[in-house]
A and B are shown apart, each in its own frame.
Chain A
């Protein structure tokens, strides 16, 4: 029965439409994108015993914050560790495994809520869920790149847009489910986890059934692959661990890390920052609306910028991120000084679209540099940059603001230094991007290279 999951059983037969693959990818990414909405459970989980208010025996917000951090940590670890297995075992096996881990994580967490044992939630959502995030994130992306050699940016943009959009579904759905399961003496978090686990498992399994890999030698109708390498776009493949020996991998690692650091810090603090920079103008309710608008631009930017990169090139797209981002970050303090709410909002909407765009464009950048054969595994290794940025971005914003406030800087100006530091980070990112050149031919895999199993269907 498990042979159904093998890569050889997922090779598409003639007549299969490649446009079935993006929905398969979205089935997974929309589900694991729930991670961005996990915070909706934080407050209810601080009152599981006290119901109306927290008791001393209830969990603290600081303890609950670790659940998401552990999950993101294991996302980076699992995508790096299991990347090669995902690439060689095929997308169906990987998506099926991700579905088991994701649903299993919710079920273990539900037991943790029932037993009021936080360690079970760390294990369930944090470890199991984090592994599902890593495997589920890279597998459909790599498959789409192979199906859309003519538009790899657009294809990966669609899937990664789903990861950004998953929270849009999960957040209102979770709130609604909790309201249905809660009573005067009980908060329905555990029941919500169980329902979400079942729904997500079903969705992800549908994705794993639909997904296919292209047959060897397949190419889209009317598409002729270039005979020779064009600029940075190679026709050769680089073995996953050989990619680590190239300066290109580490330059792109830093580009992603710096771009994400610049965005993730303000994403987490957008609500507080907008209210403190414009006291009396942006209310808490309006700030919540601003955060929602940023989420939409984060999602839309993933598709827009990744699709744009198919036309202007990956390197040029990152040049746009770095230059435009630099100008916008330098403009933000000015908008605060002149009290321009519209200017402030517009700056951050564009910045956050480029944050999402950075995530969505990088798989195609890797494909250009290292070929399609191990792009999923190399992408998995690169995601450690995300984990790193997830630690440094919010810390930069929080600690610099705190330092400024304690040293007498008015709250409305407390973020100015951070904005200039973010702009500086993007200058470094620009320099890294400038030095990205084509990978040296000595790193290319020979046609008869036998390292690893032959990933059937990866030649497209």
Chain B
């Protein structure tokens, strides 16, 4: 909740912020990992 002198960060805001960057990054890492597995084939 934000007031003139206060700006509480909620758990939902934290989850949204981390999900916003974490989900694309996790997708990219998985794609790279799938590609990297070719080394062991």
Contacts and interface: CB of A to CB of B under 8 A. Distances in A.
Contacts of A23: 17-18, 20-22
A14 B27 contact: no
| Chain B: interface size category | 20 to 34
B21 A26 contact: yes
Interface residues of B, dominant DSSP: helix
A165 interface: yes
A290 B14 CA distance: 35
Contacts, number: 91
A3 B40 CA distance: 55
Interface stretch (A145-153, A292-300, A402-410): A292-300
B20 A289 contact: no
Contact of B32 (A26, A206, A210, A295): A295
A196 interface: no
Given A168-B32, A292-B32, A292-B33, A20 B9 contact: yes
Nearest to B18: A23
B17 A293 contact: no
Given A13-B6, A169-B28, A20 B35 contact: no
A286 B6 contact: no
B14 A288 contact: no
A20 B14 contact: yes
Interface in B14-41: 14, 17-18, 20-22, 24-25, 27-29, 31-33, 35-41
Given A15-B9, A296-B33, A162 B39 contact: no
A345 interface: yes
Given A23-B21, A345-B39, 20 more contacts: A13-B2, A13-B5, A13-B7, A17-B14, A20-B13, A27-B20, A165-B25, A167-B28, A168-B31, A168-B32, A169-B27, A171-B32, A206-B20, A285-B38, A285-B41, A292-B33, A292-B36, A293-B39, A296-B32, A296-B33
